[in-house]
């Protein structure tokens, strides 16, 4: 279960104002729930069963099992939406028993790429090139590098058995797969990169890593039901979107995702990409950033409490401890000044730090909380769907198309010109 709490923002957005706004914009929620015709080619993710139904999950688990029998290391080549969900989920859940996931296709740094290749030595490797368009420079160049690595190491025939590509049907990537005998997985046709969390794009690497994708999908499916059926005042995802819009109207242009569980580090990157690429357009949009506490209480914390009043904060929290979430600090006969911690569990110490931080920050800036019961596969599915739905609603309230990303084309044109693309 997921709970959204805006009470720590009520000094800034009074509850009655929020309720009135939710009623006033109810038609936006209805459009989101039904799926708007004008975005039909981007809304495949709205129905979890469309791209993560039982048959797909079954097929994905079977392919993942084959890969795990071949390899202890799986290289995911992809950038942005073709990478973030897997990295976020694997880092959050730290699954056991699956293959190690190595990331490529998200950098052009020679040092990083060299280090990544060195990291493969001594391991059995399978690679997956995930590319919706197969024009993006980072994954395209890494894919070639890794193909050459595999061919050199295993020979062409065996290398082909170790290459999976997830791409658009009819794309040059599919042609390459057919010509070379690589395994081809179709990229969901009506889903854009950052909304592909619950499709084979990520279900495959997640299953290879040992994530329970059935539980993940079940969590998302349950959340789909609540997001798509609850009315405006009961709908937490829509409430969150509405609060964001009211805050933006008041000049709060930066949202800080704060969390006290470092396992959310890469989830926060997923969050940043989802909202930045979906909302930051037409001179509008909230700038999403993240703070990993406690570490950043000792850096960003100063600014948050005392700096320019442009921030609001969304805390991401986990209610119940899971396996491994308990560590009791024993007493000591050495006088170290920390006797007040004797016998306390770090889980509770961390919670006290979170609650104190939220109370202090809420004195000066609007604070929101998104809380899940447990940090497990089911709740990760919940988070992935909930934020995607909220992001769509938020874009709609803001008046931008949440599904395109025209702003990333400008640098690409200059970069391709500098690299001589299309010249030879
Ligand atoms: O969300 C998006 O659409 C983007 O972030 C893409 O996922 C990213 O640009 C990678 O695109 P592609 O898979 O076509 O290489």
197 lines ligand 1 (CB under 6 A): no
Residues 174 and 54 in one domain: yes
**In-domain check, residue 405:** no
Residues 56 and 166 in one domain: yes
Q: How many CB atoms lie within 10 A of CB 209?
A: 24
Residue 188 DSSP class? P
pLDDT score of 423: 60
How many separate helices (H) and strands (E) can be counted in the chain? 17, 10
Cis peptide before 35 (omega within 30 of 0): no
Residues 180 and 239 in one domain: no
What are 368's two structure tokens? 């929101």
Residues 207 and 83 in one domain: yes
Ligand 1, from 41, 42, 136, 166: best to mutate by most atoms within 8 Å of Cβ? Answer: 136
Determine the structural domain holding residue 379 and report its residue range: 2-34+216-398
Count: domains in the chain: 2
Residues 225 and 203 in one domain: no
**In-domain check, residue 413:** no
Ligand 1, from 79, 131, 135, 403: best to mutate by most atoms within 8 Å of Cβ? Answer: 79
CA of residue 79 to ligand 1 center, whole Å: 6
pLDDT score of 110: 98
Query: What backbone torsions phi and psi does residue 367 show, to the nearest 5 degrees?
Result: -125, 130
357 lines ligand 1 (CB under 6 A): no
Instruction: Read off the pLDDT of residues 374-418 as tens digits, 9 standing for 90 and up.
Output: 999 999 999 999 999 999 999 999 999 999 999 988 899 999 999
pTM (two decimals): 0.97
192 lines ligand 1 (CB under 6 A): yes
Catalytic residues: 277, 298, 412
**In-domain check, residue 423:** no
Residues 148 and 278 in one domain: no
| CATH code of the domain in which 308 resides | 3.40.50.10490
**In-domain check, residue 404:** no
Given the DSSP bridges, would you call strands 2-5 and 254-259 parallel, antiparallel or unpaired?
A: unpaired
Residues 60 and 27 in one domain: no
Residues 140 and 171 in one domain: yes
CA of residue 22 to ligand 1 center, whole Å: 32
136 lines ligand 1 (CB under 6 A): yes
Residues 204 and 231 in one domain: no
Nearest CA, atom 8, ligand 1: 80
**Residue 320 vs residues 266, 317, 340, 344: alpha-carbon distances, Å:** 21, 10, 23, 16
Please say whether the beta carbons of 331 and 384 come within 8 A. Answer: no
Ligand 1, from 82, 270, 388: best to mutate by most atoms within 8 Å of Cβ? Answer: 82
Distance CA 188, CA 292 (A): 33
pLDDT score of 422: 79
The ligand 1 atom nearest the CA atom of 194:
1
Residues 155 and 230 in one domain: no
Residues 127 and 238 in one domain: no
C-beta contacts of 180-185 below 8 A and 24+ residues apart: 183/63, 185/63, 185/128
pLDDT in tens, the chain (424 residues): 999 999 999 999 999 999 999 999 999 999 999 999 999 999 999 999 999 999 999 999 999 999 999 999 999 999 999 999 999 999 999 999 999 999 999 999 999 999 999 999 999 999 999 999 999 999 999 999 999 999 999 999 999 999 999 999 999 999 999 999 999 999 999 999 999 999 999 999 999 999 999 999 999 999 999 999 999 999 999 999 999 999 999 999 999 999 999 999 999 999 999 999 999 999 999 999 999 999 999 999 999 999 999 999 999 999 999 999 999 999 999 999 999 999 999 999 999 999 999 999 999 999 999 999 999 999 999 999 999 999 999 999 999 999 999 998 889 999 999 999 876 5
147 lines ligand 1 (CB under 6 A): no
CA of residue 336 to ligand 1 center, whole Å: 52
Domain end: 211, 230, 259, which one? 211
**In-domain check, residue 406:** no
**In-domain check, residue 403:** no
Instruction: State the SS3 of 266-292.
Output: HHHHHHHHHHHHHHCCCCCCCEEEEEE
**In-domain check, residue 411:** no
Domain end: 181, 211, 241, which one? 211
Distance CA 196, CA 41 (A): 13
What are 146's two structure tokens? 């890794």
**Residue 296 vs residues 303, 316, 317, 354, 355: alpha-carbon distances, Å:** 10, 15, 16, 12, 15
**In-domain check, residue 49:** yes
The ligand 1 atom nearest the CA atom of 105:
15
Domain end: 153, 187, 211, which one? 211
CA of residue 214 to ligand 1 center, whole Å: 25
Residues 250 and 347 in one domain: yes
Q: What residues contact 234, with CB distance under 8 A and at least 6 apart?
A: none
Nearest CA, atom 9, ligand 1: 80
């Amino acid at each position: 279960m997921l709970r959204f709490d805006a009470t720590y923002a009520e000094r800034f957005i009074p509850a009655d104002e929020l309720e009135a706004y939710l009623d006033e914009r109810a038609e936006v929620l209805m459009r989101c729930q039904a799926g708007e015709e004008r975005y039909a080619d981007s809304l495949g993710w709205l129905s979890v069963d469309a791209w993560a139904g039982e048959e797909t999950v079954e097929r994905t688990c079977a392919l993942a099992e084959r890969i795990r029998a071949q390899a202890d290391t799986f290289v995911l080549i992809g950038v942005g939406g073709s990478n973030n969900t897997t990295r976020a989920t694997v880092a959050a859940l730290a699954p056991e028993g699956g293959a190690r996931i190595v990331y490529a296709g998200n950098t052009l740094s020679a040092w990083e790429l060299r280090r990544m290749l060195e990291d493969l030595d001594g391991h059995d490797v399978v690679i997956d090139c995930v590319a919706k368009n197969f024009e993006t420079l980072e994954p395209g160049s890494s894919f070639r590098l890794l193909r050459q690595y595999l061919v050199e190491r295993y020979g062409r025939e065996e290398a082909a058995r170790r290459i999976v590509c997830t791409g658009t049907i009819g794309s040059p990537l599919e042609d390459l797969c057919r010509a070379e005998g690589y395994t081809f997985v179709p990229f969901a046709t009506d889903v854009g990169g950052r909304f592909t969390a619950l499709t084979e794009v990520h279900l495959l690497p997640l299953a290879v890593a040992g994530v329970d994708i059935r539980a993940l999908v079940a969590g998302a499916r349950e959340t789909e039901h609540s997001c798509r059926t609850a009315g405006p005042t009961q709908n937490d995802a829509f409430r969150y979107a509405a609060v964001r819009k009211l805050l933006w109207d008041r000049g709060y242009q930066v949202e800080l995702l704060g969390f006290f569980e470092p396992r959310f580090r890469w989830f926060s990157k997923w969050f940043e990409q989802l909202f930045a690429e979906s909302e930051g357009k037409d001179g509008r949009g909230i700038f999403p950033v993240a703070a990993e506490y406690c570490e950043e209480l000792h850096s960003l914390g100063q600014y948050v409490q005392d700096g320019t009043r442009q921030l609001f904060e969304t805390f991401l929290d986990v209610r119940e401890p899971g396996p491994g979430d308990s560590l009791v600090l024993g007493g000591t006969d050495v006088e170290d000044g920390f006797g007040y911690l004797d016998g306390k569990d770090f889980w509770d110490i961390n919670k006290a730090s979170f609650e104190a931080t939220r109370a202090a920050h809420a004195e000066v800036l609007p604070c929101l909380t998104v809380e899940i019961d447990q940090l497990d596969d089911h709740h990760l599915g919940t988070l992935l769907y909930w934020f995607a739905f909220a992001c769509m609603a938020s874009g709609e309230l803001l008046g931008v198309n949440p599904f395109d990303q025209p702003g990333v084309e400008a640098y690409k044109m200059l970069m391709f010109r500098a690299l001589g693309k299309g010249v030879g």
